[in-house]
Amino acid sequence: MELNWEQKKVLKIQYRPIVVIAGPGTGKTRTLVAKLQNLITSQKNNPSKILALTFTRKASQEIKERLKDNFKNKAFIGTFHSLAFQFVSQVEQFEIENDEDYERLLLEFLELLKNKKINLNFSHVLVDEFQDTSEVQYEILKIISPKNIIVIGDPYQSIYSFRGANFGIFEAFKKDFPEYREIKLSENYRSYKNITTVSQKLFPEITKLHNIKKEEGEVKLIEFLNHKAEADFIVSTIMSGTGGVDLNSVNEGDQKFSDFAVIYRNHFLRESVENALKQSGIPYQMVGGGSIWEKKETKSLIEKIKKYEGREDKLSKLVKKFSEDSEILSLVKRFDKYKDGIKRFLEYVEDLEGREFYDPNLNCVTLLTMHASKGLEFENVFIIGFEENFNEKRSDIDEEKRLLYVSMTRAKQKLYLMYSRRRNGKVMKVSRFLKDLRDEKLIEMIDPKMEKIIKRIERKKLKKAQISLF
């Protein structure tokens, strides 16, 4: 796809810091990759002198996949941690055993840079998802960055304060690099109109996005009696859209299971949906915590399988020696048809790990947290638990609003905001953010089943009132 005029401006600017504000679906990665290729091909820069930093391995992998083969192994494309490890390990022995070691690694890297025990000489530095940069990472950037630094991201998608990210990082950059030029990407290639219109109402001050897609789309707020009714609605909507799991279904839908995602703030919210999907036979995958790949047993199993790499044992037979987990067994069976099934499985796991264990090739519904949804997109998105359930601190409220914004903007065609009157025995209130979102494009409705119950209760009340008159 050809670059738009805003994206082309990013390519034209040279020899100065650049700030690119890229809202959801505006082609951030495409712009970053185009800039990288332009620096190497048109401007004849040495690829080994170019550094592209990403927040996750998934993002690094995506950039490498989009780059031409002859470039991707010459420029350094990776995370802050992979950069730090590469250079720190050249100076001293450093082992990573737990999450705390990753933070210690960055601090050690910063110290070595300050003491000039490590000297980096990059001609260009590009930073993806700049809003996720922590204070330590930013200090590293200030030391290693030449005049030609490009930071790209969206302050309204800053959702990692618990990892040290700072909402004001873009303003700090502008003070530290006063010669910067700012470009805002405003053309949205992902979502239908109504999804963009409603989601942007969370932040009236935001740069308005213009939709390339002309379809209207749907945004619905649906009230349910309880979390079970919420889960039943999700299952029936997926069944209706896909034709269900019955191969002989007469009413076959035109969508795939992979077109649907269920997004939630906390893991406990997914349980009723997961149970409903299991009972209906709808296939699903979980991303991040709760995923089978995050279990200790699975990690231990993979380490055992690695010892058999290069052998031609049947993978499922090998796995049965170490595990009785039916979910794992069904996953590995597809590799049995290959002579080198063990090798292929380990390559698959390595690839999945780079994507935070999200497999885009599986035809199944995706269950994931709001944080894990960042960077992904789906035709239809259900956001469950659209209720009051967090602290009153101003900073928490602001970040919760940004989390909701990130989640809503994952949707392409249809977006469902779902609220239950009762959840796990507790009476719930609808989210305070509803007042921000109210718009003629937002369809507010009650679950049809709940509507029937309300009418039945009202009829009973009326009958009692009539009897009391006699």
- Which among 106, 115, 181 is positioned nearest to 139, based on CA atoms? 106
> Are residues 248 and 331 both part of a single domain?
no
Which 3-state string (H, E, C) describes 73-125?
CCCEEEEHHHHHHHHHHHHCCCCCCCHHHHHHHHHHHHHHHHCCCCCCCCCEE
Q: What is the CATH number of the domain that holds 203?
A: 3.40.50.300
The pLDDT of residue 454: 72
- Phi, then psi, of 147 in degrees rounded to 5: -65, -30
Domain finish residue from 146, 169, 185: 185
The residue range of the domain holding 37 is: 5-185
Q: Write down which residue in 127, 159, 185 finishes a domain.
A: 185
How far apart CA 408 and CA 191 sit, in angstroms, is 10
Residues 245 and 340 in one domain: no
**Residue 164 one-letter amino acid:** G
DSSP string, 234-282: HHHHHHHHH--S-TT-SS--S--GGGEEEEESSGGGGHHHHHHHHHHT-
Clarify whether residues 96 and 124 are in a common domain.
yes
Q: Which two tokens stand for residue 186?
A: 């405003």
**CA-to-CA separations, 23 to 1, 9, 171, 307, in angstroms, rounded:** 18, 16, 17, 45
Closest C-alpha among 71, 78, 67 to residue 30: 67
Residues 6+ apart with CB under 8 A from 292: 286, 298, 325, 327, 328, 331
Based on the fold, state whether residues 118 and 104 are members of the same structural domain: yes
Q: How far apart are the C-alpha atoms of 264 and 416, rounded to whole Å?
A: 12
pLDDT of residue 333: 79
Same domain, 316 and 397: no
Q: Name the 3-class secondary structure at 328.
A: helix
Q: Are 52 and 124 in contact (CB under 8 A)?
A: no
Residue listed under structure tokens 């999804």: 195
Residues 277 and 315 in one domain: no
Of the CA atoms within 13 Å of residue 17, those in its CB half-sphere come to 17
Residues with Cβ within 8 Å of 337's Cβ and at least 6 positions away in sequence, in order, are none
Dihedral sign computed on CA atoms, order 317, 275, 410, 79: negative
Domain boundary among 185, 216, 238: 185
Token couple for 178: 């006063």
For residues 453 and 311, membership in a common domain is answered with: no
Yes or no: say if 470 and 463 are a contact pair by the CB < 8 Å rule.
no
Residues 27 and 108 in one domain: yes
Q: Is 187 helix (H, G, I), strand (E, B) or coil?
A: strand
Q: Are 350 and 372 members of one domain?
A: no
Name the DSSP class of 195. H
Q: Is the domain of 309 the same as that of 167?
A: no
Q: Please tell me the distance from the alpha carbon of residue 195 to that of residue 21, in angstroms, as a whole number.
A: 20
pLDDT at 250: 47
Same domain, 156 and 16: yes
The number of domains in the chain is: 3
Q: From CA 7, how far away is CA 187, in angstroms rounded?
A: 10
Each residue's pLDDT, cut to its tens digit, for the chain (470 residues) gives: 789 999 999 999 988 999 999 999 999 999 999 999 999 888 888 989 999 999 888 888 888 888 866 565 688 999 999 999 989 988 877 766 666 677 889 999 999 999 989 889 899 999 999 999 999 999 999 999 888 999 999 999 999 887 788 889 999 999 999 999 999 999 999 999 999 999 999 999 988 999 999 999 999 999 999 999 999 999 999 999 998 766 555 456 789 999 999 999 988 899 999 999 999 999 999 886 666 777 777 778 878 787 777 676 677 777 777 777 777 777 777 777 777 778 777 777 776 665 667 888 889 999 999 998 999 999 999 999 999 876 556 668 899 999 999 999 999 999 999 999 999 888 999 999 999 999 889 999 998 777 777 777 667 666 666 666 55
Give yes or no: residues 338 and 392 share one domain. Answer: no
> Among all chains, which residue has been given the structure tokens 């995923």?
291
